[in-house]
Amino acid sequence: MDLLTTLVDKGLRRALPTRDEALAVLATSDDELLDVVAAAGRVRRHWFGRRVKLNYLVNLKSGLCPEDCSYCSQRLGSEAGILKYTWIKPEEAARAAGAGVAGGAKRVCLVASGRGPTDRDVERVAGTIAAIKEQNEGVEVCACLGLLSAGQADRLRAAGADAYNHNLNTSESTYGDICTTHDYADRVDTVQQAQAAGLSACSGLIAGMGESDGDLVDVVFGLRELDPDSVPVNFLIPFEGTPLAKEWNLTPQRCLRILAMVRFVCPDVEVRLAGGREVHLRSMQPLALHLANSIFLGDYLTSEGQAGQADLDMITDAGFEVEGAGTTTLPSHRADVAAAGCGGGGCGPCGEDAGAAEPAAACAPAAVAAAPADGAGARTDLVSVRRRGAGTDLPPNA
């Protein structure tokens, strides 16, 4: 396919595809799927070889969030039967993090529900970071605490945080459809605050919320412009008790096309296969490793993932290898910029722009391979609420 030849060439040069090219990836047929995966896999291997970085989530504070994000089991008014608890102690967080590190994780992601941290919350997280780093030399720590206020990113970096996560989630034009208590611009501002403080920026999306192909391309192009170092690709986990519980719009094939499109648009960033992979990719998860170079090990914030050992076996069986602690994840042109104290990567505001986006053209929403509206055929058995790890007396899954 001429399209794939063009996209591989652009990916190897860090040049930005056109919007039409990105849309065309999402519109490819199932007969072309393996060709799409192979092409995007060439780009992935060029920048990251066959390495897979492992990340581990620790939910510091679960549930009872005042925000109304429709996709979230911790949202205001959620009836999902998730764990609810206030801030866990630093030593408990350190034990949970240690389990992930023992399983091979290089990065520990500390997450707390809520609109954003108070200054006292930042102090709490600073103590947790110290406890984790004292017990796990060389581990990366990423904080994910919601919208940041002035100066908080600087304080987190001074406390030892290496990165900050805040996802854009969906396109600017449709953001108001999934959340009314804050907007897309608030999220962009928080990512930019993290970058300005010298934190490595982590920002991604959630697919499967009923969005069009145009929405997916818009949010990924927005991420490319924002230039985070890592881009988590989440697939909606339709929790019962949330407004999007009936949104079963994804197939394994569509998930792979989305990951391929993200890789072509963001060729040299850490693309992370994140929440919902077990639910929607299922037995095709190993193919996704040809597109993403990073995954979460074990469980997520409020849902259970597959067993940590199964993650490790999957990586080995697919012909990949777990990235070692002494290996630099990012390509040198991005890693050098990050080491210099700039939270951006090498192809955006902090580095040389390798390609300019074409003006966005109006387009009709592309068809989405959707499950029946009544949810028939939906694999609700794969949505399992987390009952172990942080906030419980049971050992974590890692």
Catalytic one of 14, 19, 44, 69: 69
Give the β-pairing of 205-207 and 200-202.
unpaired
Question: From the candidates 142, 179, 266, 347, which is the catalytic residue?
Answer: 142
Tokens of 323: 């990235």
Nearest alpha carbon to residue 333 among 319, 320, 348, 318: 348
Provide the 8-state DSSP code for 388.
S
Interacting residues of 78 by C-beta distance below 8 A, sequence separation 6+: 63, 72, 239, 241, 242
65 is catalytic: yes
> Whose structure tokens read 């930019």?
192
- Helix, strand or coil, per DSSP, at residue 111: strand
Which candidate in 65, 144, 179, 342 is catalytic? Answer: 65
Instruction: Tell me if 195 sits within 8 A of 163, measured CB to CB.
Output: no
> Of 44, 95, 109, 157, which is the active-site residue?
109
Give the 3-state secondary structure of residue 282: helix
Active-site entry in 202, 266, 342, 347: 202
SS3 state of residue 365: coil
- The reply to whether 144 belongs to the active site is no
Largest Cα–Cα separation, the chain: 55
255 included as an active-site residue = no
The 3-state DSSP class for residue 173 equals helix
- The span from the CA of 389 to the CA of 313, in Å, is 21
Which are the contacts of 118, defined by CB distance < 8 A and separation ≥ 6? none
Q: Please tell me the distance from the alpha carbon of residue 273 to that of residue 289, in angstroms, as a whole number.
A: 8
- For the chain, give the number of residues: 398
Interatomic CA distance for residues 73 and 64, integer angstroms: 9
Is residue 272 annotated as a catalytic residue, yes or no? yes
Active site residue 142: yes
What residue spans of the chain are helical by DSSP H? 2-13, 19-26, 33-48, 90-102, 119-135, 152-158, 175-178, 184-196, 213-226, 252-265, 277-280, 285-288, 308-317, 332-339
Catalytic member of 44, 72, 107, 124: 72
* C-alpha span between 216 and 207 (Å, rounded): 7
- Distance, in Å, from the CA atom of 18 to the CA atom of 391, rounded to the nearest integer, reads 46
Tokens matching residue 305: 């993932």
Burial of 138 (0-12, 13-18, 19+ CB in 10 A): exposed
Catalytically active residues are 65, 69, 72, 109, 142, 202, 272
